[in-house]
């Protein structure tokens, strides 16, 4: 699948905002620095995330940002979808079959793969992939949680 740079950055941005709240939001310049973006680039990214209902801001604090919903209720799929329709390499919209019945050969293979990937991403929340604070790792046992590909268990608490 091809994921645009902005969709990739959206996931990165949202994962960083997991640690912040309405009461203690992340400042725009800080977020831009973490993402290695200029402030205008970061603001354009945030604008789309706000339009998608994923991020909110507190302008009285000089444009400080936080997640619009709890991290366990925001999926990676939603972040990608806010920027573009995830696409397979080489796929061209003009010659795509209109229904599953029209698919054959490799078209069926790639559309099936895309379906599995998107289904997987719909089940992965920001809480599943966000790092935990160091103090939480010191006091809580790990090992339970989402099992990611290649057998790497998530330590996210739900």
Domains assigned to the chain: 5-151 (1.10.10.10)
Q: What is the pLDDT of residues 60-99, one digit of tens each?
A: 877 899 999 999 999 999 999 898 765 544 455 545 555 6
User: What residues form DSSP beta bridges with 13?
Assistant: none
Three-state DSSP state, 78: helix
Q: Counting runs of H as helices and runs of E as strands, what totals does the chain give?
A: 7, 3
Residue matched to tokens 């939480």? 136
- pTM over 0.75? The answer is no
Residues facing residue 65 across a β-bridge? 26, 57
Max distance between CA atoms of the chain, in angstroms, equals: 56
Neighbours of 37 (CB within 10 A): 17
């Amino acid at each position: 699948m091809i994921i645009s740079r902005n969709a990739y950055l959206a996931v990165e941005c949202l994962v960083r905002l997991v640690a912040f709240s309405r009461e203690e939001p992340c400042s725009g310049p800080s977020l831009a620095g973490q993402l290695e973006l200029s402030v205008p680039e970061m603001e354009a990214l945030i604008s789309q995330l706000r339009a998608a209902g994923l991020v909110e801001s507190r302008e009285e604090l000089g444009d400080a940002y936080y997640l619009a919903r709890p991290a366990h209720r925001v999926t990676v799929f939603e972040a990608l979808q806010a920027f573009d329709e995830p696409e397979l390499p080489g796929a061209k919209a003009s010659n795509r079959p209109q229904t599953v019945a029209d698919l054959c050969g490799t078209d069926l293979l790639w559309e099936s793969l895309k379906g599995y990937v998107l289904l997987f991403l719909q089940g992965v929340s920001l809480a599943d992939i966000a790092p935990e604070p160091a103090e939480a790792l010191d006091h809580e046992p790990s090992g339970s949680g989402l099992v990611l590909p290649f057998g790497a268990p998530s330590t996210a608490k739900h």
